[in-house]
Amino acid sequence: MKTFVWKDLNAAEKKAALARPENRRDERVLATVKTIFDDVEARGFDAVNDWALKLDGHGVERIELNNARVDAARAQLTATDLEAMELAVEHVRAFHQAELPTDGPVIAPADGLSLQRVYRPITTTGLYVPGGTAPLFSTLIMTAVPALVAGVPNRVCVTPPSKDGSLHPMMIAAGQAAGLEAVWRVGGAHAIAAMALGALEGVPAADKLFGPGNKYVAEAKRYALERVSGIAIDMPAGPSELLVIADATANARLVAADLLSQAEHDADAQVVLVALDAAIADAIAAEVEAQVSQLPRETIARASLEQARLFVVDSLEAAAEVSNLYGPEHLALQVAELDALIPLLTAAGTIFAGTYAAETFGDYAAGPSHVLPTDGAARAYDGITVRSYLTSFVVQRATKAGAATIAPAAARLARLEGLEAHARAADFRLEI
């Protein structure tokens, strides 16, 4: 981990120290994504299938979640496996159900005028679930369940195959528990292009794309915004990030475990430690080294640690400054003065406050979605909520009396802007 003393850095050095890994926005990644979109737009499903064969090693397949397939998948899992999955589904469902908005109150700014915000589910959502080296069925739960709660009628779910072409049985069991009818076996930027351009057979183009992914997937989502008219994305959600703020009271073993839990995701993942005490910084760094050698994904974790940062700060205010400038996807607070620190924080995808609030809980079973903004986007974006799957608009009503109240002011303002047709559309309401 590269180490910095925060107070010794100037503004330019602080910005450089907090930069994300450069290869996340490699121009070659964008060029590849553009090539894939061009091909999928020109050749449709055949192009998607060809890219799947080339990059995934297996063609595209729609996996029906029928009773026979689900029963076979569940038979490969233990009762404990299934209970854990079902607990996660229920916690996620309950959390998002509690946050589901209802139509707003009718507001009457004047007699005869009424305004009301109403909510509607998005028609078609594209849900990207990372797979391949690590089948993240947890992401299926975290995207499909809130979409179900929101009432989205078309939930299109894609995920890459494993090396042998199969889907993990939990992916199938979780899909059924989340109310999906099918999962498409296809991943990468070509899966994003397929959903964005409507190239999956029998499936409408997505109105909005959801889910995290590697740098190709993240770039494909960004590019879809430019390429496809009207499409939306949940947020920039690329390789994982975790920032931990730790003081002298922190448990070094737990902090190291939390850091490595994100480092093992991806070589492009980034972990950051902000230490209020030099001794705890040294203890955590030593624990990271001791624990990483015990991990099955040690090679990936060590590659991620090449991009890790350790900042030594001298106050809670300085710790908050580092975190707010970075805007982490996940922020863990291992400090004694939680109530003093939390009000200072302005930018984080989600916060895990205190010794027992493990980031892993949020990844799997706490309830809020673990699909969160990365690359500093937490300064402006929320993570996925049930509202992410809804649109809203205001219904405006006026009686004749209401029109008489507002028309003169509206017409006057329109003429001040030089928009005579606007003014007449107001005036004419007073003549009927």
Give the 3-state secondary structure of residue 330: strand
Q: CB within 8 A of 118, min separation 6: which ones?
A: 103, 104, 392, 393, 394, 395
Give catalytic residue positions. Answer: 329-330
The pairing of strands 232-233 and 350-353 is: unpaired
Residue with tokens 């005579």: 420
CA 250 and chain centroid, separation: 28
User: Going edge to edge, which strands form the sheet with 154-159?
Assistant: 61-64, 182-185, 154-159, 124-128, 208-210, 232-233
Q: State residue 327 phi and psi, 5-degree precision.
A: 60, 65
SS3 content of the chain, % helix, strand, coil (to 5): 50, 15, 35
CA distance 198 to 57: 22
CB atoms within 10 A of CB 76: 12
Nearest to 184 by CA among 244, 228, 144, 146: 144
Residue 193 tokens, joined: 């292009």
CA distance 211 to 224: 14
Q: CB within 8 A of 83, min separation 6: which ones?
A: none
b/e map 192-211, b = 16+ CB within 10 Å? bbbbbbbbbeebebbbbbbb
CA distance 269 to 316: 25
